Structure 1
Amino acid sequence: MTHKNSLEIVYLKATAIKPSPHAARQHSSAQRRKLKAILRQFGQVVPLPLDAATGTLIDGHAVFDALVELGHDEIAVVQLENRSEPEVRALRLALNRVAQDAVWDNAKLRGEFEYLISVGFDLDLGGFEAVEIDMALSIDTPAANTVEEEALDDLAPMAGPSAAKPGDVFRLGDHLIGCGDARDTAFIRDLVGTNTVACVFSDPPYNVPIDGFVSGLGKTRHREFAMGTGEMSRDQFVAFLSTTVAAIKPVLADGAILFLCMDWRHGSELCEAAAQNHLEQKNLCVWTKSNAGMGSFYRSQHELIYVFKHGEGPHQNNFGLGASGRSRSNVWQYRGVNAFGKDRMDLLGIHPTVKPVAMIADALRDVTRRGDLVLDVFLGSGSTLIAAEETGRVCIGVELDPVYVDAAIRRWQKRTGKNAVHAATGETFDAIAERVVSPVTTMDVAVAELPAGAAATGALVAADLPIASTNVTEASVTEAGDV
């Protein structure tokens, strides 16, 4: 068979190769950094085409530059003989242009990413940006800024004493949950270890009582939070929030982003606490819900998520001005709990102010990379945990109330089919629960009363909590922020 070109790979001195002055493709510094990382890992795997008559590159200028910068003094090339100047220049354009016409098979691309993740390979070496990987792995999930939400977990709250106790730490796959105080710096540092946190997503108590403000007028009743349920003055609440932020600062990466939820009544206290800790406010995001809650003077249909940055370093931005294909604004549209139909009462039974997993997942995709640590020091029913699980991030959760620690663990176990284990003893959560938790005999929502004075002091709950029970109904429910 006669070949148009007789291709033979030869190695030439880099100094003998001439870049073409007619190369029309431009490469950003980010692209060049990415290319150098790939070449460090794999080396040169494709020879560069060269015009034999002139020693001029036909294609591969960025690769050539990267190899030279990495110290390669010899470059693998194939030399094309007997090509006219017009042919060389046309071929240079064609080799670059044809590649632009190709499209990805999304299903196969997702499969490749999933395989590389399963074997622990560094996805950065595939040349894709973090947001591109997230988008490829999220093909079948709702897009950002839609009112769609994944099916909610159907969880019946457990009656009886909690399996978790203050000070316990549970490992849930790659994640950790600790039953402790959000203001306990040492406890948080022990959970994070030598790592640093790229993002915080937390929903602190709003210093309003759950009863009447969140539980509403129906038969659904929730335990009061262990602290921040209306017992604090303005100055005390600022101090509480400021101490919490100060406790997490030592584990934050330079440039870490903090998403902190707060109602409209107490935004000024949160901003004051953030300023005391030298956080820079980046934006204020508004979660708009499909339905309004109950209320007498304007029914609230939104909640607020304050966005802060820690430190002087650059923060991760995976959406920019939409150049990545991820168009994001500070108005987030997701369904609220009062619009979840039959699942609504299930989730309300778990926690009174639960946030949509899709909303938190999108926030994590905005400012973190897969494998990054995400911290939630008011874990509640574990929505941040579930969002981290679904987006390939690692959640470090802190929750003061053992009942909610149990709820978050059960929610994760049901979602993943995996078992949580006690970090110190290795005993499974289910085994602990079987020993200490009374069997569920009704489908009632368990409502535990805190020991007297616990809410006022913010003390750790050290005893099993007596349970009162009321049936769930489709009665009026007031969401956080509604009066």
Structure 2
Amino acid sequence: MNIETLPIDAVKEYDRNPRTISDAAIDAVAKSIEAFGFKIPILVDADNIIIAGHTRLRAARKLGLKDVPTIRADDLTPDQVKALRIADNKVASLTSWDMELLPIELADLKGVDFDLALLGFSAEDLAAIMAPAGNEGLVDPDDVPAPPDAATTVPGDIWVLGSHRLMCGDSSKPEDLDRLLDGQPIHLVNTDPPYNVKVEPRSNNAIAAGLSSFTATQRKDASAGDQQSADLHRYPEKSKPTHKKLRAKDRPLANDFVSDQEFDRLLAAWFGNIARVLIPGGGFYIWGGYANCANYPPVLKAMELYFSQAVIWIKEHPVLTRKDFMGNHEWCFYGWKEGAAHRFFGPNNVPDTWSIKKVNPQSMVHLTEKPVELARRAIEYSSRPGENVLDLFGGSGSTLIGAEMTGRRAYLMELDPLYCDVIVHRWEKFTGRKAERLPRRVWPKRKPRHASRLGARRDVCLTRRGSAAGRRSLRPSRGRSARRCPRGHARSGSRRSSAPGRRRPPARGRSTPRW
């Protein structure tokens, strides 16, 4: 079998080729030829008409090649040529990938920094193939550990939990989100921000301990209807302690009791951060209350986040309130980022009401704790395995567990260090693995503002002698003493203050020197 190089214009396509060829296929083959060379010749008949290799010929034309390698099958009859042309395409489609071995091979190539895009797989296909397998977990997915007495996490910490990341940071700050994502795109957002409905702690003991979200003035004004749940003015007995034990869920939520103007600012910052990192067409599930049906949509629209519809969570366990009707549902604002067709992978005709039993109030660890099934359903409907899911308000970590169970990568932000510890311990207990905290950033120590550049670190500006900073030391500096501080004031070691070894008498009527 001889390989014959022919001018590209001498090779002819079969005008009745039953196989369609997409532009994506031509691009993939062209990249392969560029990377590896033209290693598979084109099969032609005696008249240089292609039997197998139409895509390779078009890729060669796209690359501007002048010649192409061919193999001539001049021993076949016209009928055999027709049969081979069909069989060559059909037989290839009968094979399939071994999905246990293929990820191993791809991982080996990725480990040597090989460009996997040259293999012809789309980015979505690669993400799905190489995604970690779903994990059903060692414990109940809704099992949440109690917060520790003292937090291990400090603001700014980033935890790596398998393929997931958690940061103790502020969701309104772009710099914090950039540190968390480390350049990764987001395919889906599932998050539960504060609703600004001024939820009082559910325990009388928490209110008596001063953990209420409201000031005394706000409580007095509660009768005006400004806060939906601040009913201490009408029911003063609510502020009396009932028992000593303080439940974790009685910790008030940050940013849940701000003014309307401040909440609008926070919404713009939160939703703006979402729009900045979410891919066009990427879906979002933003949980809220009925009180948010007026303030969420305008901000979403301003950030080019298309609000499509509301998904209603039926809790199957009404919440006891002092209102006329018990709350038995919660809203979710569903939509996607504008700029591309939205991505939805759920079944057809999914109802917009999800009946999922809420977490037992007696076992809740976080005030807004939600069942993992809510996050899992959103993740499976609007993302593929291996893709990235963002939750700007980590809470108790339900989105993380949902991502772990479905083979996605979760990126969580949580402001409260105690609940960062809860999320870490919850994941460790669920998976049996250990999370890793990234090394903290060490900042160089800065010299005191009034320290002398000549070594007089103990000198004190005379004008600050009576202040806390000025009382740190009254000893003169060693060696040469700077005559003036950077503000132009005399120092305690300066000759202008007094002669060496002598002190001025105290001013009349004063118990301490005036210098």
Q: State if a TM-score over 0.5 links the two structures.
A: yes
Within 2, Cα distance between the matches of 1:170 and 1:141?
Answer: 21
- Is residue 2:241 matched to residue 1:226? no
Change (3 A) 1:365 1:37: farther
- Is residue 2:112 matched to residue 1:85? no
How far the C-alpha of 1:378 sits from its partner, in A, is 0.9
Within 2, Cα distance between the matches of 1:45 and 1:94?
Answer: 21
Within 1, Cα distance between the matches of 2:353 and 2:124?
Answer: 18
* Equivalent residue number for residue 182 of structure 1: 171
- Preserved contact between residue 282 and residue 343 of structure 2 (Cα < 8 Å): no
Change (3 A) 1:355 1:128: farther
Within 1, Cα distance between the matches of 2:47 and 2:412?
Answer: 63
Q: Which amino acid aligns with 2:67?
A: E
- Preserved contact between residue 285 and residue 331 of structure 1 (Cα < 8 Å): yes
Structure 1 stretch displaced more, 195-204 or 249-258: 249-258
Q: Which amino acid aligns with 2:328?
A: S
Change (3 A) 1:338 1:389: closer
- Is residue 2:360 matched to residue 1:349? no
Q: How does 1:68-147 map to 2 (within 5 A)?
A: 68-109=61-102, 112=105, 123-130=116-123, 132=125, 141=134
- Preserved contact between residue 42 and residue 71 of structure 2 (Cα < 8 Å): yes
State which structure, 1 or 2, has the greater radius of gyration over its C-alpha atoms: 2
Q: Which amino acid aligns with 1:423?
A: P
- Is residue 2:332 matched to residue 1:304? yes
Unaligned runs of 5+ in 2: 207-244, 443-515
Identity %: 25
- Is residue 2:30 matched to residue 1:36? yes
Within 2, Cα distance between the matches of 1:384 and 1:120?
Answer: 31
- Is residue 2:141 matched to residue 1:152? yes
Q: How does 1:318-333 map to 2 (within 5 A)?
A: 319=345, 329=350, 331=352
How far the C-alpha of 1:329 sits from its partner, in A, is 4.7
Q: Which amino acid aligns with 2:390?
A: L
- Preserved contact between residue 288 and residue 332 of structure 2 (Cα < 8 Å): yes
C-alpha offsets along residues 34-78 of structure 1, whole Å, 9 cap, x if unaligned?
Answer: 443444444444332211x11011122122212321233332322
How far the C-alpha of 1:397 sits from its partner, in A, is 2.8
Q: How does 1:4-403 map to 2 (within 5 A)?
A: 7-51=1-45, 53-109=46-102, 112=105, 123-130=116-123, 132=125, 141=134, 151-152=140-141, 154-172=143-161, 175-192=164-181, 197-208=186-197, 209=199, 211=201, 222-229=249-256, 231-232=257-258, 236-252=262-278, 257-286=283-312, 291-294=316-319, 297=325, 300=328, 303-309=331-337, 312=339, 314=340, 317=343, 319=345, 329=350, 331=352, 335-338=356-359, 348-349=364-365, 352-356=368-372, 359-360=375-376, 363=379, 366-367=382-383, 370=386, 374-388=389-403, 395-403=410-418
Q: Which amino acid aligns with 1:87?
A: Q
Structure 1 stretch displaced more, 295-304 or 35-44: 295-304
Look up the SS of the partner of 1:268 in the other structure. Answer: coil
How far the C-alpha of 1:266 sits from its partner, in A, is 1.7
Over the aligned positions, Cα root-mean-square deviation in angstroms equals 4.3
Larger RCO: 1 or 2 (CA < 8 Å, sep 6+): 1
Within 2, Cα distance between the matches of 1:284 and 1:37?
Answer: 44
How far the C-alpha of 1:197 sits from its partner, in A, is 4.3
Within 1, Cα distance between the matches of 2:126 and 2:178?
Answer: 30
Q: Which amino acid aligns with 2:176?
A: F
Change (3 A) 1:425 1:247: closer
The number of equivalent residue pairs is 396
Unaligned runs of 5+ in 1: 1-6, 144-148, 427-483
Look up the SS of the partner of 2:249 in the other structure. Answer: coil
Q: Which amino acid aligns with 1:49?
A: L
* Equivalent residue number for residue 419 of structure 1: 435
Look up the SS of the partner of 2:75 in the other structure. Answer: coil
Q: Which amino acid aligns with 2:141?
A: L
How far the C-alpha of 1:140 sits from its partner, in A, is 7.1
- Preserved contact between residue 197 and residue 374 of structure 1 (Cα < 8 Å): yes
Change (3 A) 1:139 1:24: farther
Within 1, Cα distance between the matches of 2:177 and 2:132?
Answer: 35
Within 2, Cα distance between the matches of 1:362 and 1:117?
Answer: 30
Change (3 A) 1:169 1:99: closer
How far the C-alpha of 1:80 sits from its partner, in A, is 0.5
C-alpha offsets along residues 261-320 of structure 1, whole Å, 9 cap, x if unaligned?
Answer: 22334233211221233433345445567x45446747635652422315x3x367374x
Q: Which amino acid aligns with 1:93?
A: I
Change (3 A) 1:96 1:287: farther
- Preserved contact between residue 258 and residue 307 of structure 1 (Cα < 8 Å): yes
How far the C-alpha of 1:377 sits from its partner, in A, is 1.8
C-alpha offsets along residues 197-249 of structure 1, whole Å, 9 cap, x if unaligned?
Answer: 45433211223427459x9xxx97613443244x3465554343223223454
* Equivalent residue number for residue 436 of structure 1: none
